[in-house]
Structure 1
């Protein structure tokens, strides 16, 4: 069967688990986790259980001037293997939430695999990506900027527990804003594999564009865009978009369109907010006669197309909520 794609439901299972880690470097499997915090939230977004600890990495902790943790501070702390069962207990059935989730998730699973442990993580949501989708009008979407935006305070920036705690407080307003604006939550499904020797490995959290580039479209390409989207159209994304590429790729896949990495004569349209692009894929599209569509026009058309039983031109209404905002 030809694979299809639909966005995962935003029902967080039994709740959300907000996670933060401090590490000795930036490469999972080489650098180590020095401190970790996992906060399990109840249905109202309050912390009901938590695990927070410094960790003994068994190696030099790296740039102490950045994270403030010395070898002497860590030598009597538990190892990741020792607290892995407690972390797994909080993560079971919950959606892992982190600010730059790819970083925190990749370090957690790298530590788990080194410890021979399994972390029952099935779904992950990145609040950096969520904040980017919400058009908050801020200079950036760093955690400290979001904290200031909602009038919160933070005692110890870059401390795992304190970062996780303030993120848990920011999460509610982010989810409320997403519900108000009918913005899909950037939840990604992940999994695990058990090998015959008993070892467990965890999926890496790959960028959605990388997955979409390898995913065949279940519909044939009907050709160039000429006033209405149709299933099977090949859609490329320019840099000149106000929405994130991840959000646009979600809509491409959900509507039965094909994500095109490059612009070529078979490309149906390029999403580009610049009507006269001077560079990149927008310029390539114009040189090939490939139509340009703004991201607002594309989102409206893709939303209508996803609701139609046929593969013809789409309606111009966007109706892709699916009840996903019953969260807190």
Structure 2
């Protein structure tokens, strides 16, 4: 295993049948949870942009963004050999798995990753275990709910804390692609340049 891939997606709905990804971020860490790289991008959905009141992403912001199909092989290669981590993994896994599958890149291993929400419920005092609340309890800086990169960076710090507090449950890394894939991430785009 190369380490972990902490992921977060912002979407236009609550289920893949009713929504699409409009922003995705991936933070790679080593096996100890130390951040080794980050990447994020807005994504132009095939349907309309909704949920702006939650994620603040407008149709104008995604007009020139790549479609998910455009970046699917790149996302798949950034996950390859890594265990996927997310805060509320079932939500992110459903969208990533559905959209990667639609692009011809099935990755059922995403759902077998590590959920920091579940780990936090077993480790922290609560009373709620939303990402901002977990970060507040542990003194982790958190600068922007529902912004994919801010959420992944905060989740990566939370995950590092949690894996030092208790062992990580067994999870399967996403396997390597059988065809060569681009292994380098593109330059990170700042929100202002999108």
**Band of TM-score, shorter chain:** 0.7 to 0.9
Residue 59 of structure 1: CA displacement? 1.2
For 1:9, the equivalent position in structure 2 comes to none
Q: 1:84 aligns with which of 67, 72, 77?
A: 72
Distance 1:187 1:57 in 2: 34
Query: Which has the higher relative contact order, 1 or 2, with Cα contacts under 8 A spaced 6 or more apart?
Result: 2
| Helix, strand or coil at the partner of 2:109 | coil
Q: Deviations over 1:146-167 (max 9, x none)?
A: 1111212112211011100011
Task: Give structure 1 stretches of 5+ with no counterpart.
Answer: 1-12, 180-184, 193-328
Distance 2:103 2:17 in 1: 11
Scaled by the length of structure 2, what TM-score is found?
0.82
Q: 1:126 aligns with which of 93, 115, 119?
A: 115
Task: Give structure 2 stretches of 5+ with no counterpart.
Answer: 176-194
What pairs up with 1:3-22 in 2 under 5 angstroms?
13-22=1-10
For 1:268, the equivalent position in structure 2 comes to none
Q: Deviations over 1:167-204 (max 9, x none)?
A: 1011111111114xxxxx44455989xxxxxxxxxxxx
Give the direction of change, closer, same or farther, for the CA distance of 1:30–1:114 in structure 2 (3 Å limit): farther
Distance 1:101 1:64 in 2: 22
- Whichever of the two has the greater Rg, that structure is 1
Contact 1:94 1:121 in 2 (8 A): no
The two structures, once aligned, show a CA RMSD in angstroms of 2.1
Distance 2:162 2:13 in 1: 29
1:56 and 2:49 correspond? no
Give the direction of change, closer, same or farther, for the CA distance of 1:125–1:112 in structure 2 (3 Å limit): same
Distance 1:17 1:155 in 2: 20
Q: How many residue pairs were aligned?
A: 174
Q: Which moved more, 1:57-66 or 1:31-40?
A: 57-66
Residue 28 of structure 1: CA displacement? 1.3
Distance 1:49 1:85 in 2: 18
Which runs of 4 or more aligned residues in structure 1 lie more than 3 Å from their structure 2 counterparts after TM superposition?
Answer: 118-123, 185-192
Q: 2:30 aligns with which of 37, 42, 57?
A: 42
Q: Deviations over 1:241-274 (max 9, x none)?
A: xxxxxxxxxxxxxxxxxxxxxxxxxxxxxxxxxx
Q: Deviations over 1:49-74 (max 9, x none)?
A: 33310000021111211211111111
Distance 2:47 2:4 in 1: 32
For 2:101, the equivalent position in structure 1 comes to 113
Scaled by the length of structure 1, what TM-score is found?
0.50
| Helix, strand or coil at the partner of 2:166 | helix
